Amino acid sequence: MRNRILITAIVLVGAALGALYGGLVRDSSPAAPASLAAAQAAEDFKEGFSLGASTQSLVADLQSRLRANPKEEHSYVLLGLAYQQRARETGDPSWYPKSEGVLRRALSFDPKDDLAVGGLGSLALSRHRFRDALALGERARRLNPYSARSYGVIGDALVELGRYREAFRAFDTMNRLRPSLSSYARVSYGRELLGHTTAAIRAMRLAVDAATGAAEPTAWTHVQLGKLYWGHGRLADAEREYRLALQAFPGYAYGLDALAQVEAAKGKYTEAIALERQAVDAIPLPQYVTALGDLYRATGRPVLASRQYALIGAIERLLNANGVKTDLEISLFQIDHGIALRHALERARVARAERPSIDGDDVLAWALARNGRCVEALGYSQRALRLGARDALKFFHRGMIERCLGHTRASRVWLGRALALNPHFSVLWSPVARRLAE
């Protein structure tokens, strides 16, 4: 079994390298001419980024247009995309059904509108319905094989379905058709999955340059670049990028959450908690609420931690009511915090069946280990590491699985790898890794 996994990894990585480097071998791509800036900004909006103006105002304007002309099909498409942007900005999943409604309305006028079909694909991605997203992305591609956007939807879905060779080809095609913030970011992510961090950073720097100064795209790309640095323990570089993100977009929740992790790593828990509370107040995403609870727990305030953890159930119900599947994320939360471990294991199995990716493998491996089923866990952990991704949390999980199997030396090696990569990879688990690696 182990040899088969290794052979598969070698074949997959070889093919993936060809895809990722074939389309982005020239990292020094020239900047887009200024005359194209407006067009590029509009395209980035269609791919899920704000134009820099108020999305709320854009929504109101489009709604007004449609009241005046209820048959203006293109305005329905843009409104559907704007609703998805509002969900992104507010963390409120009730925008998703609204987006679906107006996009389907657009298709009732023109069933061959590839942007509307692709919009439904990006919506399916947001709802973690990856097989639906793949089908919609493929349909959009057939309608317009020259649209870069459809290849992004296809590639994102394929990544979550564990079909990495095909995913990287889709990203490569997207980048060839239209080098942009979105395509550079996807190539960066692909390189990161393969463990090629330096190349991933180069691609993400291109994404930063492609943001053309618009507030949210600029902030988002700085956060993503910071996370690449953070994942490899480069705290100062990560902090610089997160602060640049917040300078470009003050109050940006993704930047606040990321900077909170850096402050906690520096031992500045008061500052970390204040930042995480701001992130939760701005967008109450489950990961932010969990992070705030973990910070309270790490600072000896279990009652406050429990209050945050208790909110996860309500957030999950809201997400589910609006069509978002949450099995992978909620099962990981339960596993990490020792909540209903048997139930969490069943959820992890369901999640992994729907998302047979390295993340699905890793969460299932961790769930099995926390339930004492470590022989079975080892196989999934091996699969989770098959691409060569350098991920401290996955290394930690592997170390704990080896410990569960009684492999003390192997356990210390994996825990040591996690800490060497990023000694602050988790407020919850880094202290455990340090204690057991000694």
| pLDDT bucket at 2, cuts 50 / 70 / 90 | very low
Of 261, 284, 285, 281, give the one whose Cα is nearest residue 271: 261
Rounded mean pLDDT, 222-226 = 98
Residue 218: inside a domain: no
Residues of the chain above pLDDT 90, percent: 84
The CA distance from 277 to 404, in Å, is 36
Percent over 70 (pLDDT), the chain? 88
pLDDT tens per residue, range 257-285: 999 999 999 999 999 999 999 999 999 99
Residue 13: DSSP 8-state: H
Predicted pLDDT of residue 26: 31
Dump pLDDT digits (tens) for 326-353. Answer: 999 999 999 999 999 999 999 999 999 9
Residue 23: is its pLDDT beyond 50?
no
Inside any domain, residue 231: no
pLDDT band of residue 56 (cuts 50, 70, 90) is: confident
Residue 30 is given by DSSP the state: P
Average pLDDT over residues 130-148: 97
Q: What is the mean pLDDT of residues 362-374?
A: 98
- pLDDT higher than threshold 60 for residue 160: yes
In this structure, of 26-35, 98-107, 148-157, 346-355, the range with the lowest mean pLDDT score is 26-35
Q: How confident is the model at residue 48, as a pLDDT?
A: 54
Whether residue 389 has pLDDT greater than 90: yes
CA contacts within 13 A on the Cβ side of 331: 27
Q: What is the pLDDT of residue 45?
A: 54
**d(Cα 254, Cα 235) in Å, to the nearest integer?**
17
Mean pLDDT of the chain, nearest integer: 89
Nearest in space to 298 (alpha carbons), one of 317, 281, 276, 323: 276
Res 50: pLDDT: 52
Which of 57-66, 126-135, 187-196 bottoms out in mean pLDDT, i.e. has the lowest?
Answer: 57-66
**Predicted confidence (pLDDT) per residue in 398-423, tens digit:** 999 999 999 999 999 999 999 999 99
pLDDT in the model for residue 47:
53
Phi, psi values for residue 380, rounded to 5°? -70, -35
Name the CA dihedral angle for 36, 40, 42, 44, rounded to a multiple of 10 degrees.
-170
256 in a domain, yes or no? no
pLDDT at position 274: 98
Look at residue 51 and tell me whether its pLDDT is greater than 80: no
Short-list 201, 179, 205, CA closest to 191: 201
Average confidence (pLDDT) over 392-398: 98
Is residue 404 within 8 A of residue 374, CB to CB? The reply is yes
Asked if residue 102 belongs to a domain, the reply is: yes
Concatenating the DSSP letter of every residue in 291-335 gives HHHHHHHHTT-HHHHHHHHHHHHHHHHHHHHTT---HHHHHHHHH
Q: Does residue 369 lie within any of the structural domains?
A: no
* Mean pLDDT of all residues in 250-260: 96
Q: Is residue 195 part of a domain?
A: yes
pLDDT in tens, 311-325: 999 999 999 999 999
pTM of the model: 0.87
Please check the confidence at residue 183 and state whether its pLDDT lies above 90: yes
Tell which wins on pLDDT, 417 or 216: 417
Q: What is the residue range of 105's domain?
A: 9-25+35-212
- Torsion sign across C-alpha atoms 237, 243, 245, 251: positive
| pLDDT over 50 (residue 165) | yes
C-alpha to C-alpha distance for 257 and 272, rounded to whole angstroms: 9
In this prediction, residue 438 carries a pLDDT of 85
Q: Considering the domain boundaries, does residue 187 fall inside one?
A: yes
Which DSSP string do the residues of 214-246 spell out, in sequence order?
-HHHHHHHHHHHHHHHHTTT-HHHHHHHHHHHH
| Residue 171: inside a domain | yes
Place of tokens 């990856």: 130
| Closest to 249 measured CA to CA, from 279, 204, 284, 289 | 279
What's the CATH code of the domain at 197? Answer: 1.25.40.10
pLDDT bracket for residue 20 (50, 70, 90): very low
Q: How many domains does the chain have?
A: 1
